[in-house]
Amino acid sequence: MATYTETPKLSHRFELALVYATQLHANQIRKGSGIPYISHLLSVAALVLEDGGDEEEAIAALLHDAIEDQGGAITRAEIRQRFGERVISIVDGCTEEQIQPKPPWKERKLNYLAKIRQASSEVRRVSLADKLHNLRSIVTDWEREGERVWLRFKSGKEGTLWFYRHFLEVYQEQDSHVYTQELARLISRLEVA
C-alpha cells in the first residue's frame, strides 16, 4: 500500500494529457453502456494515483488505450512527442496490439498475458488499474442487466472470465496487492453468478 509524506501535486502536463485523451476518445463509449469512454480513463488514472503512482504513470493511464483505439502509430508518435519516453513506454506496455487487423482474440490475450508477466512495475500498475476498473464495470453492469451483459463480449462469459482468471494468476505470481485481491473477489462474484 502506498504511503504519502506530502500531498502529491499534478502539473499542467496532466491537464494537457486529460484534454488530449478527451479529444482522442470524444466519440467513443464504453461497450454497450452509452457511457463516455473518458470515464474509464479517469477511473484508471485515479486508481493509479491512489496506489501511489506518479504523474507520468497517471498520464499513461489516461492514454493507455489511445494507440489501439485511436490511431495506431500516428497517435503513438504524438504521445511520445507530447509526453516523453517514459509515458510512451508505459502506454506501449499496456497496449494489446498495435497492428491492424488485430490477431484473433485468444492469441491477443495470450500475448498480452506474456507481455504483462515480464512488464515493469509501472506498466503492471497501470494495467492492473485498467483491468480492475473494467471488471468493476462488468460486475456493476451484470448486477443491472444480468446475463445479457456477456453479449457485449466477443468471447462471452466463458472467455472473458478465462482471461481475467489468467490475468489474476500473473499478478498473484509476484505480489499480493490490494487491487489483486479485489480482482479475485470480483472474479469470484461473476463465477458464482
Q: Cell 496487492 identifies what position?
A: 177
Active site residue 50: no
Active site residue 69: yes
Asked if pLDDT for residue 193 goes beyond 70, the answer is no
Nearest CA to 138 out of 111, 124, 159 is that of 159
Asked if pLDDT for residue 110 goes beyond 80, the answer is yes
Q: Which residue among 69, 96, 97, 145 is the active-site one?
A: 69
Q: Which of helix, strand or coil describes residue 33?
A: coil
Asked if pLDDT for residue 179 goes beyond 60, the answer is yes
- Look at residue 3 in the predicted model and tell me its pLDDT: 55
Q: Is 122 exposed, middle or buried, given 0-12, 13-18 or 19+ CB atoms closer than 10 A?
A: buried
- CATH class for the domain made up of 12-191: mainly alpha
113-161: pLDDT as tens digits: 999 999 999 999 999 999 999 999 999 999 999 999 999 998 999 999 9
Average pLDDT estimate for 87-99: 91
Over the chain, what is the mean pLDDT? 92
Task: For the chain, give the percent of residues with pLDDT over 70.
Answer: 94
Average pLDDT estimate for 70-78: 92
Nearest CA to 61 out of 193, 179, 184, 192 is that of 179
Task: Kindly report the backbone phi and psi dihedral angles of residue 36, in degrees, each rounded to the nearest multiple of 5, phi listed first.
Answer: -55, 135
Interatomic CA distance for residues 154 and 96, integer angstroms = 16
Domain-wise residue ranges, the chain: 12-191
5-40: pLDDT as tens digits: 555 678 899 999 999 999 999 998 888 788 999 999
- Contact of 149 with 142, CB cutoff 8 Å: yes
Q: Which residue among 51, 56, 65, 68 is the active-site one?
A: 68
Q: Is the pTM of this model over 0.85?
A: yes
Overall size of the chain counted in residues: 193
